[in-house]
Amino acid sequence: MIGEKLSVFAYAALLALSASVTAVEVDVEFSAEAVQIAPQRQLMKTQIYVSKQAVRTESDVNQQKYIEIVFPKEGRRVILIPQQKSYMEQREIPAKSPMMVDKKNVSPCEGVPNTRCRKLGTEKISGRQAEKWEISTQRDGRTVSSLHWIDVDRRMPLREMFGDGTISELKILQQEKLNGRSTEKWQLTVTKSDGQSRQSLQWFDPALKISTREELPGGYVRELRNIKVAKQPEHLFTIPAGYQRMEVPAAGGNPGGMPQKR
């Protein structure tokens, strides 16, 4: 759960910080501003609203406003285009990945197709209690296995060992105040089989159960600012009256990628 538009691509990158919200069971509803800082690029911002049923994001893309509403439990995603008073709806959301489980004694493979998890026991990693799991998945007709040590309390992978020799290790550094909220500062180190490694920093908010800041290699920063804990209005997660449904464009089937009205 802790991990790694100006243009449409940049918009997708910005949403990566808030996407982890859909991976956990939300206990606390809140709103926030998601910010991405990249070297020699303009600051990017997205407003997000998180309820117990859905996550809403609002962004300006190429001078046009886009609103996305994701319903994780329903497997449904709605995109609103206010300028056109139209919307698109998708019923198939990509399956989650292993490790995206925030409950104890639940297999990290739950809900993940073609993947098998086997619990090997419990060990201490950097002084923290962790469940050791072997995860096997089918890839190109062969079985690929990896080992993962998941923190019992935080449900985060403290150590991961992959078949290609890559090892990732996550360790807590200290408690720290961030934007007026109590957080835990963690350091992630990923080491390749050739010995090359890279590090990133992450600030985990225990009350929200998500990472609210990430400092990535190369000077990239993603952060949630102006976090306001409050019950979110239901109308934020509904399709406004008078909006017309549009077909989701097929890949390569519509020049310009513009959706077609139904």
pLDDT 10s digits, 162-217? 999 999 999 999 999 999 999 999 999 999 999 999 999 999 999 998 899 999 99
Asked if 181 and 170 count as a contact pair (C-beta separation under 8 A), the reply is no
Note whether 103 and 124 are within 8 A (CB).
no
What percentage of residues in the chain have a pLDDT greater than 70? 80
What are the boundaries of each domain within the chain?
8-94+229-261, 115-223
Cβ atoms within 10 A of the Cβ of 54, count?
24
Cβ burial 206-218 (10 Å sphere, 16+ → b, else e): eebbbbbbbbbee
Q: Is the pLDDT of residue 37 over 60?
A: yes
Specify the residue for token string 């464009």: 249
